[in-house]
Amino acid sequence: MRIIVIAIGTAGDVHPLLGLSRTFVERGHEVAFCTSPVFAPLVDRYGLRFLPLGTVEQYRATVDDPELWKPRTSLKVLWSGVASTMRPLFDLMSAEVDRETIIAGHPWAFGARIFQEKYGVPMVTLQVSPSTFLSARRPAIHKQLKLPMFLPYPIRAGLLWALERGVLDQVCAPDINRFRAQLGLSPVRHVMSRWMYSPQGVLGLFPEWFAPPQSDWPPAVQLTGFPLFDDATFQNLDDELEKFLAAGDKPIAFTPGSTLVNESSYCDAAANALELMGMRGVFLGQKNPDSRPRRANVLARTYVPLSRLLPRVRALVHHGGIGTVSQALAAGIPQLITPFAHDQFDNAARVVRLGCGIQTEQSITGTSLVTSLRELLGDNGFEGRCAHFRARMEPGEASCRRALKVLEEVASRTLPSGPASSPFDTRPTLASA
């Protein structure tokens, strides 16, 4: 079986799908990985055939846009970047898909979803975090969208329907439907709640205890657990970091992930808080070396696999990306989360609901951070609850194998019979479609 895996987004979206792809290859399948060229070295390291989507410049223009990290403007900026991939992705699928191919794509892989409809190619949607499953039963938490649970369900459902038709469809559907019209396809609506998910299969790459399935999620969602991929196969802790970790009490780890922050202010506030508390810290993810604090109680690294670092720290301060959340749960350490946009608010709310961390405001000062860390570290209940959910975490490989089983089942039902070398279909070019 040939599998084309499509990852749209930042490292938090790409890493889990790389974890799946590695298992697919180990189980004897041919895998091509489609994502931004920013991640080409990582894809190549795992021996996957790389299919570039967009350019490094396009990726950076989107991720480094401050409006992407503001709840009021994030959707339009994100959609602008995603919409630009629709036609290139459709054309790429036209060149790559044959009779043995199944597509496994991120929900934002709209070009592949349209290709599936046009030519009947089997596809499974890969949902990295639960936040974009629109639900009135148990609404996800977003900065600009809060459906109060005290309202009766029919009212919540009506409000959610109005939001989708009046806001989400207004942003996304026009670009989708213009492209569909070029292909002779009818227009769609309810893009976010229904259409973008493949009717052949939807995988939630998280466990049920983190996000219990709801009756108003897309049909036939299957949960696999967290893939827990972070490139630890090729990256160890360096000698200086090893000595730092062994030299005293467990430090606090800090990482802003892909979020656009003022690194100098962030690092200074964190370092000041640690100094006031007499604690040590490890800072990850700084793009500007000059922003890194130069203090004896702090060590900074651009990147360290979290699965290697987090079991050796006392707590993690981060912005709520799903990959970071899952690694902290696997390590059994409490989390202090300062969400900015996208799925971060919902992920933070779920960690708080589990009793494994607290959420605080976006702007971190030395004083506010001290208060939050004292609350996090002074409550022994966090330690017990984190240990409880660490025990419930399965190895990432178990998640990847469950995902593969679903793909194999979908492929067995949907891939056409016939010689493997024959084309999947006669696919006209876009110009002639």
Chain-centroid distance of CA 382 in Å reads 25
Is the same domain home to 194 and 244?
no
Rounded Cα gap, residues 3 and 308, in angstroms: 30
pLDDT tens digits for range 296-352: 888 988 888 999 999 999 999 999 999 999 999 999 999 999 988 788 999 999 999
User: 207: domain CATH number?
Assistant: 3.40.50.2000
Is the same domain home to 400 and 385?
no
**pLDDT score for 288:** 55
Sequence-separated (6 or more) residues with CB below 8 Å from residue 72: 144
User: How many other CB atoms are found less than 10 A from the CB of residue 176?
Assistant: 23
| Count: domains in the chain | 2
**In 3-state terms, what secondary structure has residue 105?**
strand
**pTM of the shown model:** 0.89
Is the same domain home to 209 and 251?
no
Q: Going along 117-244, which residue ranges are E strands?
A: 123-127, 202-204, 221-223
Element (H, E) at 35: strand 30-35
Q: What are phi and psi of 396, to 5 degrees?
A: -60, -30
**pLDDT score for 207:** 97
Is the same domain home to 384 and 401?
no
| 20, 22, 106, 161, 363 from 135: Cα distances, Å | 26, 32, 19, 10, 30
Among 129, 104, 108, smallest CA distance to 54 is for 108
Residues 333, 388, 342: CA angle, nearest 5 degrees: 55
**pLDDT score for 422:** 37
Is the same domain home to 178 and 248?
no
Domain of 399, in residue numbers: 2-228+395-418
The pLDDT-based confidence of 417 (bands split at 50, 70, 90) is: low
pLDDT tens digits for range 22-50: 999 999 999 999 999 999 999 999 999 99
Contact 129, 322 (CB under 8 A): yes
Q: β-strands 30-35, 202-204: how paired?
A: unpaired
Is the same domain home to 206 and 248?
no
**pLDDT score for 294:** 66
Residue at 373 is within a domain = yes
Does 218 have pLDDT greater than 80? yes
Q: Which two tokens stand for residue 112?
A: 């592949």
Residue at 400 is within a domain = yes
What type of residue is 323? G
Residue at 337 is within a domain = yes
Residue found by looking up tokens 């629109």 in the block:
134
Is the same domain home to 215 and 243?
no
Residue at 211 is within a domain = yes
Does 428 have pLDDT greater than 50? no
Rounded (to 5) percent helix, strand, coil in the chain: 50, 10, 40
User: How many other CB atoms are found less than 10 A from the CB of residue 363?
Assistant: 12
Is the same domain home to 44 and 148?
yes
Is the same domain home to 313 and 172?
no
Paired strand residues for 50: 33
**pLDDT score for 432:** 38
Query: Among 9-23, 68-82, 118-132, 184-198, whose mean pLDDT is lowest?
Result: 68-82
Is the same domain home to 413 and 295?
no
Q: Which two tokens stand for residue 66?
A: 């401050």
Is the same domain home to 203 and 298?
no
Residue at 107 is within a domain = yes
Residue at 431 is within a domain = no
Residue at 89 is within a domain = yes
Is the same domain home to 22 and 151?
yes
Residue at 317 is within a domain = yes
Query: What is the average pLDDT value for the chain, to the nearest integer?
Result: 88
